[in-house]
Amino acid sequence: MGAALLFFILMRNQVARSHQTAVNITSVVVLIALYHYLRIFNSWSDAFTFVDGSYIQKGAPFNEGYRYVDWLLTVPLLLAELVIVLKLAKSTTRSLITKLSIAAIAMILLGYPGELSAADSSTRTIFGILSTLPFLYLLFVLFVELGKSLDRQSDQVRKIVNGLRFMILIIWGVYPLAYIAPSVISDEATAEVVRQVGYSLADILAKPLFGLFILAIALIKTQDEAGSLPETASA
């Protein structure tokens, strides 16, 4: 996340000023993630101690809440950067961002009570299903409503947006898999590791990789508008 943050800040002036906002939001997203991963690291270190050849859980519980606070901030921002970089009409931009943000926030808030409950509890299953509903709505907005606004984009941009939408469909599908890990893997320690590795991998793909594609769109648009390399368009 820190490496991505540096890269996005350094690459910013290759993008025309009118397209920098989306890249700036990408930087903000990976900074937020960087902070929370440092907190997650510390919380994990505090939760487990090495005793007699293996790690055991000490007093303080590992705080999974950091991930949810992170997502609550970063997921709406990720969706906003996708809409903003396309430079649609102001009213379309506002309406898409509002719908996507509400769906994202509902999805994350509904996931949290399930995350906190026991591995084999029905609460976990019910909130898992409930949080899938806003996710489906979010996909509908991305594939149907956003789809209507793609006519004016260049072929290259349209291809990347298509790729990004399928990325959201597939990568965001890793989160539910990590979520159900404690329910399907009987060994508690293995389940916890699978869950954390799953969430972390998905975060790397959904934030820095997603941001690289947003940067690519901003660079293509800069080039298309300048008719050349953006040597003169930035400071």
Contacts with its own copies: how many residues (CB under 8 A)?
34
Residues between 210 and 229 that touch its own copies (CB under 8 A) = 229
156 part of the interface to its own copies, by CB under 8 A: no
The answer to whether 149 contacts its own copies (rule: CB under 8 A) is no
Selected from 10, 136, 184, 193, the binder of its own copies by CB under 8 A is 10
Q: What whole-number distance in Å separates Cα of residue 59 and Cα of residue 46? A: 8
> In terms of CB distance, is 182 or 208 closer to its own copies?
208
Phi-psi region of 87 (alpha: psi -120 to 50; beta: other; left: phi over 0): left
Minimum distance from residue 27 beta carbon to its own copies (Å):
6
Total Cβ atoms within 10 A of residue 52: 5
Which tokens belong to 48?
Answer: 């487990």
For tokens 């599908």, what's the residue? 173
7 is an interface residue for its own copies by CB under 8 A: yes
Structural contact between residues 222 and 15, judged by C-beta atoms closer than 8 angstroms: yes
In whole angstroms, the minimum distance from the beta carbon of 115 to its own copies comes to: 19
Pick the binder of its own copies from 87, 105, 155, 231 (CB under 8 A).
231
Task: Single out the residue of 12, 67, 87, 221 in contact with its own copies (rule: CB under 8 A).
Answer: 12
Nearer to its own copies, 13 or 183 (CB): 13
Interacting stretch for its own copies, rule CB under 8 A, among 30-38, 127-135, 136-144, 187-195? 30-38
Which residues within the stretch 33-92 sit at the binding site for its own copies (CB under 8 A)? 35, 50-51, 59-61, 73
Q: What angle do CA 24, 29, 25 make, to 5 degrees?
A: 20
The reply to whether 6 sits near its own copies by the rule CB under 8 A is yes
* Residue 22 burial (CB count, 10 A): 22
Distance CA 193, CA 55 (A): 12
What CA–CA distances, in Å, run from 158 to 49, 96, 150? 50, 17, 7
**Axis crossing angle, helix 90-116 with helix 122-140, rounded to the nearest 10:** 170
How many helical (H) and strand (E) elements, i.e. helices and strands, does the chain have? Answer: 10, 2
Nearest distance, CB of residue 31 and its own copies, angstroms: 5
Residues of the shown chain interacting with its own copies in the complex, contacts defined by CB under 8 A: 2-3, 6-7, 9-14, 16-18, 20-21, 24-25, 27-28, 31-32, 35, 50-51, 59-61, 73, 229-231, 233-235
